[in-house]
Amino acid sequence: MAGLLPRVLTVFSGLILCISLSGCGDDRPEKIAQYQQLSQQRITQLGAMLDAGELRNATLLKQYTQLLKSSKPDLVPLLDELAKDAGTTGPMFQSLKRRTSELSDSANFIDLDQQLEEAQNIYQAADPSLYNDMLSDPVNVVADLSGGQLARVNSISREAAALANGSEDFGAGSQLVGNPSYGSWQTNSSGMSFWAWYGMYSMFSNIMNPVRYDRWSNNRGYSYYNDVGRYRYTSPKQASAQNRTYENTKKTFNSQGKQFNSPYAKSRTGSTSLSRQSTSAPKASTTGTRSASSSKFRSTYSKDSSFRNSSSRTTRGVRRGK
């Protein structure tokens, strides 16, 4: 009997520890698989809506690029490339598909927390209302290319934004700088980082001055991606690359006795009429940071079972032109 009590206490202690560890099981892999399945469903739905012309900003992007072709024939290849974002062949949509596919391989992530974080971000990024807001950047790029003939959407005017933020006008196309779907930060032989466009987007180099990271960081203007959407439209690998550029630039400045702040340390103003999903999004400055998952995903999509209902509500909201 004397030896029984210690054994009972040991078993009891083990049970208490087991309960404290979420029932002796890790439900993160199951959650990741669920979010991946839901994301695939939502991306399929989003693709169908784009093909059917049910996203207002996608429709505007098609119309804007078509209208501008006649007055600026030299920009036709670039406008055709920008118009792809109005459908399923654009870099933003393809990025969501690629990120969803990469969820299956845990080797793509530091740990399960990061993998689950990415799964939830993709699911939310594929929401039609959020994606419609994301398309405001390429729409406004085309609007700026028109020289003011076409109106911006979900954003104050180019002049008002520059005045409100004290920002530098890097030229039409600056909303896409920093967005890894359109280019990346490259470092030259002198150790300075500059923005390098992908593919046909390199035509922006003909209408914009070269954009150096340090100058852009201190003087950038408002864009949806950099100030609202970055948290959900950036993969962990992309966030790591952005952070490396920041750390290397900061190190260079520190060696010269100068201070350097992250381009995301301070949000710029300029958004208008964004959806509820966007206005409740985490700050762009938190992208790539690590914290408890339970504190990072307080959103309208916290319950998997609500996917169908929330999707139908979102669809109606987008059709009304949110």
pLDDT by residue, tens only, the chain of 322 residues: 555 554 544 544 544 444 444 445 899 999 999 999 999 999 999 999 999 999 999 999 999 999 999 999 999 999 999 999 999 999 999 999 999 999 999 999 999 999 999 999 999 999 999 999 999 999 999 999 999 999 999 999 999 999 999 999 999 999 999 999 999 999 998 889 999 999 999 999 999 989 999 999 999 999 999 999 999 999 999 999 999 999 999 999 999 999 999 999 999 999 999 999 898 878 788 887 654 333 343 333 344 434 444 444 444 446 544 4
**pLDDT of amino acid 55:** 98
Q: What is the pTM of this model?
A: 0.84
Tokens standing for residue 227 = 């100030």
> How high is the pLDDT of residue 317?
45
Cβ atoms within 10 Å, residue 68: 22
How many Å apart are CA 57 and CA 61, to the nearest integer?
6
Nearest to 281 by CA among 299, 269, 255, 295: 299
> What CA–CA distances, in Å, run from 72 to 32, 58, 204, 282?
47, 21, 14, 38
pLDDT for residue 282: 85
Predicted local confidence at residue 288, as pLDDT: 76
Q: What is the pLDDT of residue 290?
A: 53
